[in-house]
Amino acid sequence: MTKEEILNTVVTEVTSLAKDQATSLLGSLSVDELTPLVQAQIKTITDPLEAEINTTSSVWVKIRNRLYITAINNAVTSIVASIQSGLVDLVKK
């Protein structure tokens, strides 16, 4: 075996091991663990919308942003369910 073949073999094995461990860890996440993670990411989207509501004088911008924030916040449950479904599928592979 050449040095490159050995290196490729080692990299392949390490990558496979890391993927297996990540899959195992992620597959065990519960709704209670996923929800705060999703909410934190959603906050990065809704905070600028909230800031615009507080700084604009446009009624339409305020209404639009409130609708966006409401729709986004209502999607948390669906997003978590989708993530869990994807993780379950990943674990099954």
Distance CA 93, CA 74 (A): 31
Q: Is the pTM of this model over 0.95?
A: no
All structural domains of the chain with their residue ranges: 3-92
Which tens digits make up the pLDDT trace of 9-28? 989 998 988 887 877 777 77
Which tens digits make up the pLDDT trace of 47-75? 999 999 999 999 999 999 999 999 999 99
Residue 31: per-residue pLDDT? 80
Q: How many CB atoms lie within 10 A of CB 80?
A: 20
Tokens coding 80: 């978590």
pLDDT tier for residue 93 given thresholds of 50, 70 and 90: low
